[in-house]
Amino acid sequence: MLILVRHAMPAYDRHVPPDRWPLSPSGRAAARRLPLPTDALFAASDEVKAWQTLEHAGAVTLDPRFREALRNERWDGPYRELRRSYVEGSAHPGWESHAAVAARFDDGVVDLLVRSGSRPLVIASHGMAMTVWLQSRGCVTEPGAFWAALRFPDAIAVDLDARTATVLDYPH
């Protein structure tokens, strides 16, 4: 079993790089409501908001392969429009290629699926990176709509054989 988790809501601070944003108090509370298996191998991007989303559930392996798509992005720019067009396939100057994101994410998933053995694998990551990877694996056919519908946090059950990604229902 593979469950991807989009991180919970961080505490934004324009003076701190986004990879160092911690969870907000409401984000921490929301993370504790996620429907996570107790016997899982937990892994996360090494960005603070990602591993903090899972830390309440047990030990978390930090893995930079699950980081968000690398990009040059203005704080005050049209970030939602840029991000949606990126997951839909647009190549923005200064942004990591879709192929690079999918390849590093896939390397991490394949590695950790082996390491998890018969236990579930739960990976906390970021909306764009997860969406790009899921599309590369044929699990998402409308990446823009999928990405736009993701909540902070969200849990997605992935079946790689069936090529499905199902957002889990739980009380937010």
Q: Structural domain of residue 130, as residue ranges?
A: 2-167
Residues 98-129: pLDDT tens digits?
999 999 999 999 999 999 999 999 999 999 99
Domain total for the chain? Answer: 1
What is the distance between the alpha carbons of residues 21 and 16, in angstroms, rounded to a whole number?
Answer: 7
- What is the CATH classification number for the domain harbouring 81? 3.40.50.1240
What is the distance between the alpha carbons of residues 110 and 160, in angstroms, rounded to a whole number?
Answer: 11
Is the CA virtual torsion 107, 6, 23, 99 positive or negative? positive
pTM above threshold 0.95: yes
What is the distance between the alpha carbons of residues 151 and 73, in angstroms, rounded to a whole number?
Answer: 21
User: According to the model, what pLDDT value does residue 172 have?
Assistant: 79
Per the omega criterion (within 30 degrees of 0), is the bond before 153 cis?
yes
What is the distance between the alpha carbons of residues 19 and 17, in angstroms, rounded to a whole number?
Answer: 6
